[in-house]
Amino acid sequence: VKPPQFDYHDPRGIDEALALLAEHGEEAKLLAGGQSLVPLLNFRLTYPAHLIDLGRVPSLTYIRREDGVLRIGAMTRQATLEASPLVATHWPLLTEALTFVAHAQIRNRGTVGGSVVHADPAAELPVAFTALEATFHARSSTGRRSIGCDDFFVTHLTTSLKPEELLSEIEVPAVPDNTGWAFTEYSRRHGDFALGGAAALITIQDGACSRARIALLAAADTPLRASEAEDALEGKAVNEKVAQEAARLAVAEISPTGDIHGGSEYRRYLIEGMVRRAIEQATERVGR
């Protein structure tokens, strides 16, 4: 299988990349790690006339903590984020989510920004960023824009980025003290795309949940916040019954797309179990 023909560009800096995007916009695709785009090209599911390789734009690769906020350059490799002690200490949900992403070889090439912009609802990073309430920073030759998770993910494989924009940075706010985390998922083999899963952040104050953030994996066309489940947890001491009820609410309104790996009803049942497990595990980890 061979990709369709395209003109290849390898800009040496962000301004050059943005100028190429401004010129070729609708007809161009950015190449990051190539782990999703190259298969799409080879299967001829996309036909860009221009491929703009971000591999030589070093200013898009960094992991920094500034004023308690995590800033990740879009071209940071998934493996680099996974191995970051800074991230493991302050944003362990991301570290845990990454252990489920594909295989080491793919994480070595695949970038954080590429995973986010590819916007597969079964991809772990977009779900973890949704639970963490991340902000996505976009750049074009004419300006900058910041987009929250709710507005960024539009549907399956589609974000609200414009053709002339690139994702430059993911900003993740600090996680409150006394917060436990968990990322759970089920897939047929480790490294396969998940059939369902959940990310949870549970904050406990005086024995009760003061804040809950839950996001669902492979439950809809985009990562999905389970707001009713979060509301059901807040103010309560989290025990098995409370976690079970929250999990029930999390899946009450979803109808995941079924396929040969599992029907919609089965996936709903699976996600319910994953949410309950994530809430319980996150609660157990508070204070660790």
Residue ranges in contact with ligand FAD by CB under 6 A: 29-37, 39, 54, 74, 101-102, 106, 110-111, 113-115, 117-118, 123-125, 161, 166-167, 193
51 within 8 A of 14, measured Cβ to Cβ: no
Closest CB to ligand FAD among residues 38, 208: 38
Nearer to ligand FAD, 147 or 209 (CB): 147
* Residue among 250, 226, 239 at smallest CA distance from 280: 239
Of 94 and 117, nearer to ligand FAD (C-beta) is 117
**Contact assessment for residue 30 and residue 166, using Cβ atoms and an 8 Å cutoff:** yes
Closer to ligand FAD by Cβ: residue 45 or 252: 45
Sheet with 69-73, side-by-side order of all strands: 63-66, 69-73, 166-172, 135-140, 143-148
What is the nearest approach in angstroms of ligand FAD to the Cβ of residue 220?
A: 16
Instruction: Find the shortest distance in angstroms from Cβ 229 to ligand FAD.
Output: 23
Q: Which is nearer to ligand FAD, 110 or 180 (CB)?
A: 110
User: Nearest distance from residue 248's CB to ligand FAD, in Å?
Assistant: 27
Residues in the chain, total: 288
> Based on CB atoms, which residue is closest to ligand FAD, 185 or 230?
185
For the CB of residue 137, give the shortest distance to ligand FAD in the complex, in Å.
10
Integer Cα distance of 86 and 91 in angstroms: 8
Q: What is the closest distance, in whole angstroms, from the C-beta atom of residue 170 to ligand FAD in the complex?
A: 10
What stretches of the chain show up as alpha helix (H) in DSSP? 14-24, 37-42, 78-82, 85-90, 92-98, 104-109, 112-118, 124-131, 149-152, 227-233, 240-251, 264-284
Min dist. Cβ of residue 197 to ligand FAD (A): 10
Strands annotated E in 130-177: 135-140, 143-148, 153-155, 158-159, 166-172
